Amino acid sequence: MKAARQAVSYAAEQLGFSAVGVAAADAPQGDSLSRWLQAGCHADMDWLERHLPLRQEPAKVLPGVRRVIMLTYEYPRQDARRATGSVARYAQGEDYHKLLAPKLADLDETLQMYGGRQRCFSDSGPVSERFFAAMAGLGWIGRHSLLVRPLGGSFCFLSCILTTLELPVDQPMANHCGSCHRCEKACPTHALSHGQCDARRCLAYWTIETRQETAPPEIQEALRGRLYGCDVCQEVCPWNRKETPRRVDPHLLMPARVAGMTTEEMADLSWEKWEELFANSPVRRTGAEHLRRNIHAFSPVTSES
């Protein structure tokens, strides 16, 4: 299966992926995810709990799976926003799901030529992508719970291919966070601890996932000026000062008219203009009304008199 591994690595490089690694599909995942869920750290993202059995056993996702191929794809480190109101770097360009899906389909076709059956995901399926990326030797899990790479840091998308092919596996990498706790200390709401993120305090959760109209006072205060997501833990990570593995895909760069648009202009967008600007953007996920909610920040929690 060395030929298949070489073929998929070459094809991935041609398609713009910055690294490829392979892990055994049956690698023991431990109980850290179960304990995280039991502690309620997933907030109201109930699908994480429902999908736990699939995440823990990839064979339930693809019967006969032997390997998990993990790939990285760079997104911008630099903040393109020139106006107030921050947007997480990964969401400043086009929707990465749509960008990466045809590339993964091409890799699937390559592996089919060697007799493999595959299922492909990019942050879209019940697979523990960060775990397998670490097991595949692409980096290690940092204290902010993200994959960190010696070359490239954490600003990257992860994609995975479950395959029935028995490809050569790569060796995991040692954790190089050392005594650094900058991400934990910098988190505006203290959501990070021991390599895990408590979604109940994470600003990405509050600006993207939740549909609540109120937030605890300390969360509400930290939300000011955040439109979509949060990059603080990545911004302070020393590994993100390292050289990037390759150039960023121009499709992932923020359009100039969005980069300079004020929050007032965003709040006043008509439905037609909203669709025109964000039809192919990850920001579309939160919806126009909830983006306006973020612009005006959450309503304060009122106590009963």
Measured distance CA(159)–CA(139) in Å, rounded: 14
Mean pLDDT taken over the chain = 94
Measured distance CA(204)–CA(282) in Å, rounded: 13
pLDDT tens digits for range 62-89: 999 999 999 999 999 999 999 999 999 9
Query: One-letter amino acid identity for 174?
Result: A
pLDDT given for residue 36 in this prediction: 97
Q: Is pLDDT above 60 for 173?
A: yes
Task: Tell me the average pLDDT across 35-49.
Answer: 96
pLDDT tens digits for range 102-142: 999 999 999 999 999 999 999 999 999 999 999 999 999 99
pLDDT tens digits for range 190-248: 999 989 999 999 999 999 999 888 889 889 999 989 999 999 999 999 999 988 888 89
Measured distance CA(104)–CA(121) in Å, rounded: 8
pLDDT tens digits for range 10-28: 999 999 999 999 999 999 9
Catalytic entry in 123, 170, 231, 249 = 123
- Torsion of Cα atoms, 234 then 182 then 194 then 60, to 10°: 10
Confidence band of 305 (pLDDT split at 50, 70, 90): very low
Concerning whether 123 is annotated as a catalytic residue, the answer is yes
Q: Is pLDDT above 70 for 6?
A: yes
Measured in Å, how far apart are the chain's first and last C-alpha atoms? 69
pLDDT given for residue 146 in this prediction: 97
Task: Tell me the average pLDDT across 145-150.
Answer: 97
268 contacts: CB under 8 Å, gap ≥ 6 = none
Measured distance CA(60)–CA(154) in Å, rounded: 29
Please list the residues that pair with 193 across neighbouring strands. Answer: 196
SS3 helix, strand, coil % of the chain, rounded to 5?
40, 15, 45
Of all residues in the chain, the percent with pLDDT exceeding 90 is 88
Q: Is pLDDT above 60 for 44?
A: yes
Classify 277 as helix, strand or coil.
helix
pLDDT given for residue 115 in this prediction: 98
Confidence band of 53 (pLDDT split at 50, 70, 90): very high
pLDDT tens digits for range 271-302: 899 999 999 999 999 989 999 999 987 755 44
Q: Is pLDDT above 60 for 148?
A: yes
Q: Is pLDDT above 50 for 304?
A: no
Candidates 238, 25, 28, 10; CA nearest to 142 is 238
Measured distance CA(200)–CA(204) in Å, rounded: 10
